[in-house]
Amino acid sequence: MQLFASSDRSSDPLGSAGPKSSFVYCCIGCASKASTAAQDYCCSHCGNLLEITDPQWNSAHPTALKSLWSERRISNSALDLSGVWRFREILPAPDLAQPVVTLREGNTPIYELPRASRLTGVTRLYAKHQGMNPTGSFKDTGMTVASTFARQAGSRWVACASTGNTSASMAAYAARGGMRGLVLVPDGKISWSKLSQALDYGALTCQLRTDFDGCLRLLQELVREAPVYQLNSINPFRLEGQKTLAFELLEQLDWHPPEHIIVPGGNLGNSSAIGKGLLEMLDMGLISRLPKLSVIQAEGANALVRTVREAEGKRLVPVQAETRATAIRIGNPVSWEKAIRVIQGTSGTCEQVSEVEIAQAKAEIGAEGIGCEPASAVTLAGLKKLLRQGFVKKDETVVLVLTGNLLKDPDFTMEFHRGDLFRGSPQEAASAQLQPLRHPPVVLDATLAAIIQTLERAEKSAPAPSNA
Ligand code: F0G
């Protein structure tokens, strides 16, 4: 490799001059602990994934922490304005003498879902909308932490494989942190909207003729060969940032845990991160009982569901992934063991939903005036299934984690409303029931009469539903 001098290669992504903090890397397989990690963030003994632990987290007093975090909400300091770094006591400590790479991520809204409440009978139903982050997805909460550590390690290049959102987020944080971004995405299998973000933020973007799993495999090989800093969710700093969702959510609920939190599952980093956050909160005495964390996948990308059902969670059952929810079109999820652990640790479950169920749930979340991308909609579709199974009860409090913004996948939305999404596919007949949810655009002559006629026709066919 001629691009880089061999002396650029370091076995410690933080570099020997990296910031000193009390955190340690701990292997989820053999439990060995280390203060440094290799570029691929795999355990040097058994090859399994690493996670970050900090023996000092437990020493803080829960009431004092809650008021400290709450006070920071009126502070104008850059760190406090970030909904991630506001919770810095539970994060690995960066060197604060150097700037933190932040776009004021986190601080995302939690919404009531009155229509979906009526539809499902769940009276306390909320959406925590991570699509309201700066680049439109939950990835930003992890990226601020991992890119800060990448920068402090002196990294020139940061890199990721992605189904779109990670690359959009990484490209933005690389640009903010003065680093170069290398993006590996599956050719033709990510939305233009996400791809265009990576281009605009200036990343070197490679569309590889493979799927996401192929991109990630190559990235793991690349980081062993070249001094590029790995920013996929294998990188445990990403998960540390993403776990703050759990803290922020509980703060928004006045520290009253909901009975259920439901998240989409792809590579399974996010569910692992949220679960880690919940378990730490219980350990620290911030909450007195755990919400059940449940993970929902698309039927065509259901490796976790099959792993649980066919192998009792003991070995991964990979699949050839296929779904229109391209963000979670992943067949070989790297964080499957971490996800199994948190599902079991919180007494949650996992479930799968069909393409038609995803499209329906997405339209229903859109009709709330909120919207989300297809991968996020699996949560509402999954909730309906979990209610039918009796796993969720109507009088329980449920939070759906919406992971990506509606604007992330306009093609899906347009095809749905125009009635083209399932045309010619095996789901065409089953999708006929979605007709009432479609709102296709109407092309008219530019006359007042034409508009009034259309308005009257619309009023007759579907009187406006009330949200009150
Ligand atoms: N929802 C959205 C919108 C996503 O972009 C992803 C993953 C997930 C859910 C699943 O999260 O992988 O942590 O289980 N997107 C990744 C990417 C893989 O490259 O953007 P996960």
Separation of alpha carbons 325 and 300, rounded Å: 10
Q: What is the mean pLDDT of residues 60-71?
A: 94
Q: Which ligand 1 atom sits nearest the alpha carbon of residue 164?
A: 20
Reported as a pLDDT band with limits 50, 70 and 90, residue 6 is very low
DSSP state for residue 201 in the 8-state scheme: T
DSSP state for residue 324 in the 8-state scheme: S
Beta carbons of 85 and 91 less than 8 angstroms apart: yes
State the pLDDT at residue 289.
97
The residue nearest atom 12 of ligand 1, judged by CA position, is 267
Q: Which residues pair with 183 in a beta bridge?
A: 160, 205
Q: Is 375 in the pocket of ligand 1 (CB under 6 A)?
A: yes
Q: Which ligand 1 atom sits nearest the alpha carbon of residue 375?
A: 1
Average pLDDT, the chain: 93
Separation of alpha carbons 328 and 280, rounded Å: 27
Per-residue pLDDT of 411-423, as tens digits, reads 999 999 999 999 9
Closest CA to 329 of 391, 264, 426: 264
Per-residue pLDDT of 431-451, as tens digits, reads 999 999 999 999 999 999 999
Separation of alpha carbons 317 and 313, rounded Å: 9
Q: Is 92 in the pocket of ligand 1 (CB under 6 A)?
A: no
Q: Is 164 in the pocket of ligand 1 (CB under 6 A)?
A: yes
Q: Is 211 in the pocket of ligand 1 (CB under 6 A)?
A: no
State the pLDDT at residue 60.
74
Q: What is the DSSP string of 398-456?
A: EEEEE-B-GGG-HHHHHHHHHT-TTTTSTTTTGGGGGGGG--------S-HHHHHHHHH
Task: Report the separation in Å between the CA atom of 22 and the middle of ligand 1, taken as the mean of its atom positions.
Answer: 30
The residue nearest atom 7 of ligand 1, judged by CA position, is 327
State the pLDDT at residue 39.
87
Q: Is 108 in the pocket of ligand 1 (CB under 6 A)?
A: no
For residue 15, pLDDT over 50 is answered with no
Reported as a pLDDT band with limits 50, 70 and 90, residue 77 is very high
